[in-house]
Chain A
Amino acid sequence: MRKGLISAVRGQFSAAQQRTLEAMVKTHYRTHVSDERLGVFWMEFEPDQMFTNYAPSQSSIITLECANEFPQDKRVAMLTACHNDWCAETGQHPDHLMLALLEEDLFRAFLASNRERLSGIGACQFYGAAIARALGARLNRGIFAFSANR
């Protein structure tokens, strides 16, 4: 399973919007990237914990994994399709959406960097809380979502 992480401000989108956006990302992933299953996780920040350009942020950051040596033309097609449909669904300003399609070696390093800055107990607490909250959100909202705070 490939993985994807969407970072956004909590409450910025309705649960229905989040389900629609996630389904859209997965559809474009199948079309442009791979038939492999894509697991999407939402990391939600409180409004005053996310800043862009010196101000509280309304940005969304989408980071997805793909195979190593992935063709750039397909990457551009995937990111463009997601960008267009995301902005159409949310009304978000295009400058407030960042997307990245990272090859698996870098994506692993990206995920590992967070784990490596935490202590053993800290990592267990972070991922334990994230999994519990993600499962709860899956039941209540139909998406895997967790708070950026422990």
Chain B
Amino acid sequence: MPVYTLACTQPLPVTVRKAVADKITDVHCDVTGAPPEFVNVLFLHGQRTRHGERLAVIGNVRSGGNRNQELTDSLQAAIHEGVAQAADFPATEVSVRLIGFPASWSMEGGEILPEPGDEDAWLNRSS
């Protein structure tokens, strides 16, 4: 968590997929302070999107902790801008929607995920 899934109308070249995945990881970590180990980016090709966007992004992200509405709005805007830039698409051809998941409902590395902002102990759990 987070898990970002991107529905693409046409398959993106692998170099573009990597650039978009890297950008999402950068932005998510910069805005939320989450570690990159958490960030998953998945591409679904050949999808017809509702408003004809070339890329429709859904981000399943942890909610609660230090994430208020302002931070969530900032994250959504930054992901939107970053994905459009990395894919070289106009921003109007990209959509982004974030869905908040309680951290305590998920497990990674054999541990229940920490609340946003409390990642240090989780990351240092095996060291």
Contacts and interface: CB of A to CB of B under 8 A. Distances in A.
Interface of A: 7, 45, 48-54, 57, 59, 61, 72, 75-76, 79-80, 83-84, 87, 94-95, 97-103, 106, 109-110, 113-114, 116-119, 121-122, 125-126, 148-150
Interface of B: 1, 3, 5, 7, 11, 14, 17-18, 21-22, 25, 36-50, 52, 56, 58, 60, 95, 97, 99, 101, 104-110, 112
B1 A100 contact: yes
Counting chain B CB atoms within 10 Å of each CB, which of A53, A72, A121 scores highest?
A53
A121 B43 contact: no
B3 A94 contact: no
Q: Which 7 pairs of residues, A with B, have the shortest CB-CB distance? A: A122-B48, A150-B46, A51-B21, A117-B56, A79-B107, A100-B106, A149-B45
Contacts of A119: 48-50, 52
Given A117-B97, A122-B50, A126-B47, A83 B39 contact: no
17 contacts: A50-B40, A51-B25, A53-B37, A53-B38, A53-B39, A54-B21, A100-B106, A106-B99, A106-B105, A117-B58, A117-B97, A118-B48, A118-B49, A119-B50, A122-B50, A125-B48, A150-B44
Given A114-B58, A118-B7, A122-B50, A103 B42 contact: no
B50 A118 contact: yes
A89 B51 CA distance: 43
Of the listed residues B39, B60, B105, the one surrounded by the most CB atoms of chain A closer than 10 A to its CB is B105
Contact of B109 (A51, A53, A94): A94
A63 B49 CA distance: 23
Nearest to A116: B50
Contacts of A49: 17, 42-45
A53 B1 contact: no
Contacts of A149: 11, 44-46
Given A100-B1, A122-B50, A148-B43, 6 more contacts: A48-B14, A50-B42, A52-B37, A110-B99, A114-B58, A117-B56
B5 A114 contact: yes
B60 A117 contact: no
Nearest to A50: B42
Nearest to B46: A150
